[in-house]
């Protein structure tokens, strides 16, 4: 739920049990996390604001969209904070680990390649292959990377980060924007 690497192996209590034992059996407090994020980074860290609300992004809360708090710098794979909640989430969840930044860079390249392959499959009428490519891309680790790529593709400086072939695919195949 935190690093998006898709290696969930542990149940995390978003509101830590050590500080909030009354939430021990609250289903909405259970998040699927990798053991590294849960045991090495977050542990029982849980910063609160002046109103006793979490200063961490809750990826399951519909009103707590990570894109409000974080943006992606594609050339480095780094998340950059946009808010205090973003800053605290990067720190507490360990989102600046080199391993994760490299994974985001790889996911960016993979997304471009998959989008180009999707377009080729559509263009030759191979709908089953196009569907499989779409599903593969949607399930890939670092899922927010595709969302950031699509967002950046609509900006004037998109060509700084996205190759011309991929940009052409996004212009021709607007259905892709409905995938995330």
pLDDT 10s digits, 11-22: 889 999 999 999
Half-sphere exposure of 64 (CA within 13 A, CB side): 14
Whole-number pLDDT of residue 82: 97
Q: What proportion of the chain, given as a percentage, has pLDDT over 70? A: 99
Whole-number pLDDT of residue 61: 86
Pairing of strands 78-81, 30-33: unpaired
CA separation for the pair 17, 13 (Å, rounded) = 7
pLDDT 10s digits, 74-102: 999 999 999 999 999 999 999 999 999 99
Look up residue 40 and give its two tokens. Answer: 């090495």
Look up residue 48 and give its two tokens. Answer: 């609160």
Task: Tell me, letter by letter, the H, E, C secondary structure of 119-167.
Answer: HHHHHCCCHHHHHHHHHHHHHCCCCHHHHHHHHHHCCCCHHHCCCHHHH
Whole-number pLDDT of residue 59: 80
Whole-number pLDDT of residue 6: 67
Q: For 162, left (φ over 0), alpha (ψ -120 to 50), or beta?
A: beta
Region 69-77: what's the mean pLDDT?
96
The three-class DSSP label of residue 13 is strand
Region 96-122: what's the mean pLDDT?
97
Q: What proportion of the chain, given as a percentage, has pLDDT over 90? A: 78
């Amino acid at each position: 739920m935190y690093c998006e690497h898709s290696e969930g192996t542990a149940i995390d209590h978003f509101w830590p049990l050590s500080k909030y034992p009354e939430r021990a059996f609250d289903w909405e407090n259970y998040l699927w996390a990798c053991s590294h994020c849960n045991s090495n980074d977050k542990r029982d860290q849980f910063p609160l604001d002046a109103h006793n609300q979490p200063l961490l992004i809750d990826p399951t809360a519909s009103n707590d969209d990570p894109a409000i708090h974080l943006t992606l710098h594609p050339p480095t794979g780094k998340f950059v904070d946009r808010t205090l909640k973003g800053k605290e989430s990067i720190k507490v969840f360990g989102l600046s680990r080199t391993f994760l930044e490299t994974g985001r860079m790889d996911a960016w390249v993979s997304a471009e390649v998959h989008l180009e392959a999707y377009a080729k499959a559509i263009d030759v009428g191979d709908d089953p292959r196009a569907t499989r490519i779409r599903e593969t891309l949607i399930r890939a680790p670092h899922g927010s990377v595709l969302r950031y790529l699509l967002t950046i593709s609509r900006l004037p400086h998109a060509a700084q980060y996205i190759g011309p072939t991929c940009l052409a695919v996004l212009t021709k195949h607007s259905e892709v924007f409905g995938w995330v």
